[in-house]
Chain A
Amino acid sequence: MRAAAIPASAWPSVPPAAIALLFPLTLLALWSISAHFGWLPPQILPSPGEVWAALLDLARSGDLARNTGISLLRVVEGFAAGSFLGLLLGIAMGLSPKIEDYVKPLFTAFAQVPTLGWIPFLMLLVGIGEPLKVLVIAKAAFVPVALNTLSGIRAVPPIYAEVGALFRFSRWQLLQKVVLPAAVPPIFTGLRYGLTHAWNALVAVELLASAEGLGYLLVWGRQMFWLDTMMGAMLIIGVVGFLLDRIMATCEARLQRWRLA
């Protein structure tokens, strides 16, 4: 139940979308005016028009599409690899306390080191090419997927197993028909976190060592003091990150519906 200490009696019938846009539009207006009157030096704040123009330039030259595509491809590859391994490990640990005993401590130690810490390590091992990017992104996705899968399987009520026994399910059938479906929501949460982490890891690794991608555009802009390009790249990074999460959310909703059916 939502409650507010200070009710908004003054805004009864304005659609929420309009109110949501009020702040950003005001900011945009202030930004344009300040750029026009030069309140802030242009090296600190380009005008919104310039940012838009920079984006259009990027789009027209095909740079935007190419770099976005490359970044997306890397994320997809890394995320697929990382979440696959994460699922495997999570299921293995979830189903077998023995495996968990052997693996969990090492896994926990591994998970304590943030992705950023692993990047230079991997750079020394595999150089700065595509394998680096995919490995880093895979690592970023792997940890949350494995953790959430494990806890999802652990959280399956024992009653389900009893029911399964009643139906004389084989181990495999138990897994397939009872355990996995029950664990799907937390597993999906893990996948969602994994994708977010994967996207952030992509930005990190592209900032450090890349010849293409959205992070690379950001670095290029920074070196050349092209604030408009930088802000444009930031915008696209935000939009793509948002869309990726939206896609996951939609899949999650679909899966929910299927489960309840």
Chain B
Amino acid sequence: MMIRGAVLPILLLAAWELTSHSGTVDPRILPPLEFVAQTAFDQVVHEGLLRNLAASLLRDIAGFTLGSLLGIAVGTTLGLSRIADRLFMPSFNGLRQIAILAWIPLISIWFGVGEAAKIVFIMAAAFIPVVLNTHEGMRSASTQLIEVARTLTFTRWQLVTRLYLPSALPSIATGVHLALIYAWVASIGSEYFMTIGPGIGGLIIAGRERFQMDLVMLGILILGLVGFLINRGASAIEKRLLRWQQA
């Protein structure tokens, strides 16, 4: 099964190598694989690729953490308070119809040209799925459990921490998982559309401007790899957190 899965990729890479060496295509558009490997090596050793990656990731983590924490807080409030829900949820749903990237110009003007603007954007991207899923999780707490909690005269605080939060945990976990993915994409987006700073997004844009497909490909590879790792990591954490649910 593993072998089958490798067939297409290998064929693709072979076709690429052949076409690239055949001279029928501009080598800048389709660089031979060795070039890409060489570029990768150069970038890591000479151009501080790891530093760029670290910068992108740092931004990502900062925005993700702030956005998710805020999202859980807001989602909990909206989920538990009927008034808050009725007052604010429709507006939130309305605002989130606006494609997240469309917010970039406004955020740029409102927050200027530093890291702050980028982090605000990433926060927003993480915030949305966390609020939605937390809200959903809070609202679908089992009424039976609530009845029991009432009879045990739980205080408000106990209700939230002992009942609602645990019961909403699966939804919150889903929201946070999505937030991780969206935040990563948003950090790349912030590098494309806001001022250039160190980062993988900047690497890809530079590749495009200099016509160096090898840089672009390198960037794409890293994007894919990081995306994959984030996804895997998030799933693993999710599973761990929810293990007690299965019990």
Contacts and interface: CB of A to CB of B under 8 A. Distances in A.
Instruction: Report whether chain A binds chain B.
Output: yes
B152 to A, nearest CB: 14
A233 B99 CA distance: 11
B187 to A, nearest CB: 10
Interface string B90-132: 1100110111111111101110000000000000000000000
Nearest to B103: A234
Contacts of B205: 120
A242 interface: yes
Nearest first, the 6 closest Cβ-Cβ pairs linking A and B are A238-B98, A20-B90, A105-B5, A8-B82, A222-B105, A120-B208
A22 B87 contact: yes
A124 interface: yes
Given A222-B105, A234-B98, A6 B81 contact: yes
A103 B108 CA distance: 41
Interface residues of B, number: 68
B227 A203 contact: no
Interface stretch (B43-51, B54-62, B212-220, B234-242): B212-220
B82 A6 contact: yes
A124 B95 CA distance: 34
B29 interface: yes
Given A120-B216, A124-B208, A238-B97, 15 more contacts: A1-B140, A3-B139, A8-B82, A8-B86, A16-B86, A24-B94, A43-B109, A102-B5, A105-B8, A105-B9, A116-B185, A207-B101, A222-B108, A233-B102, A239-B97
Interface in B180-214: 184-185, 188-189, 192-193, 201, 204-205, 207-208, 211, 213
Q: Is the interface of B mostly helix, strand, loop or mixed?
A: helix
A117 B100 contact: no
Q: Is the interface of A mostly helix, strand, loop or mixed?
A: helix
Contacts of A242: 94, 97
B177 to A, nearest CB: 15
Interface stretch (A106-114, A173-181, A249-257): A106-114
Interface stretch (A76-84, A151-159, A223-231): A223-231
